[in-house]
Amino acid sequence: MIKNYKYLKDINFPADIKKLSQSNLKILAEEVRSEMIDAVSETGGHLGAGLGVVELTVALHYVFNTPNDKLIWDVGHQTYPHKILTGRKDRIRTLRKGNGLSGFTKRSESEYDPFGAAHSSTSISSALGIAVANKLSNKSNNVIAVIGDGAMSAGMAYEAMNNAGATKTKMIVILNDNDMSIAKPVGAMRSYLAKILSGKIYFSFRETIKLIISAFSKRFSKKAGKAEDFLRSAVTGGTLFSSMGFYYIGPIDGHDIDGLVSVLKNAKEIDFQGPIMIHIKTEKGKGYEFAEKSADKYHGVTKFNINTGIQEKSKSNIPAYTKVFANTLVKHAEKDSKIIGITAAMPSGTGMDIFGKKFPTRMFDVGIAEQHAVTFAAGLATEGYKPYAAIYSTFLQRAYDQVVHDVAIQSLPVRFAIDRAGLVGADGPTHAGSFDITFLTTLPNFVVMAPSDEAELVRMINTSIDINDRPSAFRYPRGNGLGLNLPEIDEKLEIGKGRIIKEGKKIAILNFGARLHECLLAQENLKKKGINITLFDARFAKPLDEKIIWQLATDHEVILSIEEGSIGGFGSHVGYFLSDKNLLDNKLKYRSIILPDRFIDQNKPDSMYKSAGLDSNSIESKILDTLNSKIIVKKTN
């Protein structure tokens, strides 16, 4: 720690907070906020969401007996203050680094993280599971879920609330309403919450507390019962939450720590057999001027100067793959009015903000609702439109049933722009794009592409425009391209045709995706050792370029495939083709390099790829090992 804090220096675990008087909690909260700003300025990471829940975090750990009471955070990027207060203060400057603290909640990291969360809208479901388990085990532990930062736009949250209300299981849900997710939230729920806040039912905090204290009496008098009825009906206006079986409280000021403590204590002690929802209003970025003024730009940050708020910028002038995608799609949309852009609460992350500025009536941000995004796109496709669903690989996993049932089976021409393919660095395994090649190439009649560089990405976008009889996808990595000149938008690829990059003898590498540069480095090193290899850029995992693969198999002794994906993807399809055509015999050896069968912890991307065996040295070693084993087999024969 850098500063000599008055209280935080002596706070190692939540039990230490309970030693303070309630009047000192406000100072502690200010110190936690200061420490978080200092730490994130050095590490980068998620800033705005955590700043908004500092008072809430202090109050929760002051009132409840964690970790016996289970505190479950939705979208774990809100939890930096929680980590500071739960035994991880001294490691907070290792956030998102190799062997450091995760940027999200993680069960293996701390007993104070009862459920891991990096994707949104899982807190109510998991909390209900824990609460029901407690009930079945006759445990009296409290279970608290904190949901917000846009997570209420996802259908899973409502599925969980519906179930929680029906089971009448005691649990507390805190709706952290900050009117934001990463960007401004969208949808009817946002408007609904705004009406609650702007109407007559938004009491002053003191009035609300008075009513809550009356309503939460353990033994309701006639007068208290009337107060309760008034609170639940007048304050909520017969809200959706009440109709789903929740005892709804709020909205209240989420930055008034004294008020929060009072409400949480009463929620903890009330004899109500069912779920309780406490609706708090917070400000994303609270307490840091620059984050308050620009909450979207300070949601996730690079290292920054605390005094000026200026974030470190990439030293590269090479555009990122995301921007190349967005700018290329805009060029096509200028000529084709049928092109529609769709994103699921990630307009800036996917580049759809660029598209939306140019075509505001043709870009749809559906909120944190990937399932809906895919089926919405399918509906558009039935009417002759050309929807581009721009979704991170890790988030597309949430909509796989819709990809299968609503798109693939009906052979609808939805185009999937899959960002953050492969390993992504500091966000770790929860955000890695490891499985999309596998889960898409198993689907009949799907076109699956991956560019080896930004120029190839442009060609694949160009190609996808004319794929009108089936679904298609192109996946591309996080970060900048290689600095290549970009082709014009009329330069397209033949479906299912790859390209030979280098011609050699005996050994052929079949590359799919952005590892081509590492393959070229391996090829150069092997050339110095007198080994000349053929390098083939497949471009398509489906359909395969069977003609070229057949030719390479008959002309070479070793074939090695490489991809940034799990087993079952490109390499598996190549292996099946070679086996099915009886091309695997004593003459030909086939090996594949894929992501290993484990989740790879956060680190710098280069270190992660080295760990995965997908760097140039690992490729070279794999080739040499395969050659040596082939020589041994020949000698034995």
Evaluated on CA atoms 509, 515, 519, 525, the torsion sign reads negative
184 pLDDT higher than 70 = no
Instruction: Say if residues 365 and 352 touch (Cβ distance below 8 Å).
Output: yes
Give which of 138, 176, 173 is closest to 158, Cα–Cα.
Answer: 173
More confident residue, 47 or 180: 47
Q: State how far the Cα of 205 lies from the Cα of 186, in Å rounded to an integer.
A: 27
Token pair 């529609």 in the structure block, residue: 340
391 backbone dihedrals φ, ψ, rounded to 5°: -140, 140
The Cα–Cα gap between 474 and 433 comes to 13
User: Residues in the chain, how many?
Assistant: 637
The pair of three-digit structure tokens given for residue 309, joined into one six-digit string:
């708020």
- Position 444 scores a pLDDT of 97
Set 31, 55, 370, 454: catalytic member: 370
Contact 249, 213 (CB under 8 A): no
Q: How far apart, in whole angstroms, are the C-alpha atoms of residue 72 and residue 274?
A: 18
Secondary structure (3-state) at 187:
coil
Nearest to 193 by CA among 239, 157, 245: 239
Enumerate residues 6+ apart whose C-beta is below 8 A from 479.
Answer: 320, 321, 605
pLDDT band at 356 (very low <50, low <70, confident <90, very high): very high
Catalytic residue among 398, 415, 459, 478: 398
Q: Which helix (H) or strand (E) holds 304?
A: none
Instruction: Calculate ∠ Cα 67-250-140, nearest 5°.
Output: 30
Strand order in the sheet with 339-343: 363-365, 339-343, 386-392, 415-419, 472-475, 447-449, 540-542
The single residue listed with the structure tokens 């080994």 is 531
The rounded percent of the chain whose pLDDT value lies above 90 is 74
**Which residues pair with residue 173 across a beta bridge?**
145, 277
User: What is the band of 637 on the pLDDT scale with cuts at 50, 70, 90?
Assistant: very low
DSSP string for residues in 385-414: -EEEEEEEHHHHGGGHHHIIIIIITTT---
- Mean pLDDT, residues 355-375 taken together: 96
What domains sit in the chain, N to C, each tagged with a CATH number? Answer: 10-286 (3.40.50.970), 321-475 (3.40.50.970), 499-636 (3.40.50.920)
Q: Is 398 a catalytic residue?
A: yes
**Dihedral, CA atoms, 247, 252, 255, 261, nearest 10 degrees?**
-50
The larger pLDDT score, comparing residue 32 to residue 233, is at: 32
pLDDT for residue 231: 45
Residue of 630, 557, 625, 560 whose CA lies nearest to 587:
557
> β-pairing, 70-73 with 589-593?
unpaired
pTM here is 0.87
**Per-residue model confidence (pLDDT) at position 309:** 87
Q: How far is CA 117 from CA 58, 102, 125, 347, 585, in A?
A: 20, 11, 12, 22, 47
Task: Assign 186 a pLDDT band (cuts: 50, 70, 90).
Answer: low
pLDDT digits (tens, 9 = 90+) for 98-125: 999 999 999 999 999 999 988 888 999 9
Q: What is the mean pLDDT of residues 132-155?
A: 89
What pLDDT digit, counting tens, does each position of 197-253 carry?
444 333 344 444 454 455 444 444 444 444 444 444 444 433 678 888 899 888 899
Average pLDDT (330-335) is 98
Catalytic residue among 96, 284, 415, 475: 284
Nearest to 121 by CA among 423, 395, 351, 425: 395
Q: What is the dihedral of CA 364, 369, 372, 376, to 10 degrees?
A: 10
Contacts of 418 (CB under 8 A, 6+ apart): 391, 392, 393, 396, 433, 436, 473, 474, 475, 476
* Cα gap 199→190, rounded to integer Å: 14
Query: What is residue 197's predicted lDDT score, i.e. its pLDDT?
Result: 45
Note whether 484 and 535 are within 8 A (CB).
no
Catalytic site includes residue 591: no
Read off the pLDDT of each residue in 451-468 and give the average, rounded to a whole number: 98
Contact (CB, 8 A) for 365 and 345: yes
Residue 290 confidence class, pLDDT cut points 50, 70, 90 = confident
CA distance 491 to 509: 26
Active site residue 111: no
Q: What is the pLDDT of residue 149?
A: 66
- pLDDT of 76 above 60: yes
Contact 424, 416 (CB under 8 A): no
CA atoms within 13 A on the CB side of 254: 27
Ranking 48-52, 220-224, 365-369, 392-396 by mean pLDDT, the lowest is 220-224
Average pLDDT, the chain: 88
- 477-492 burial, b at 16+ Cβ within 10 Å, e below that, comes to bbbbbeeeebeebeeb
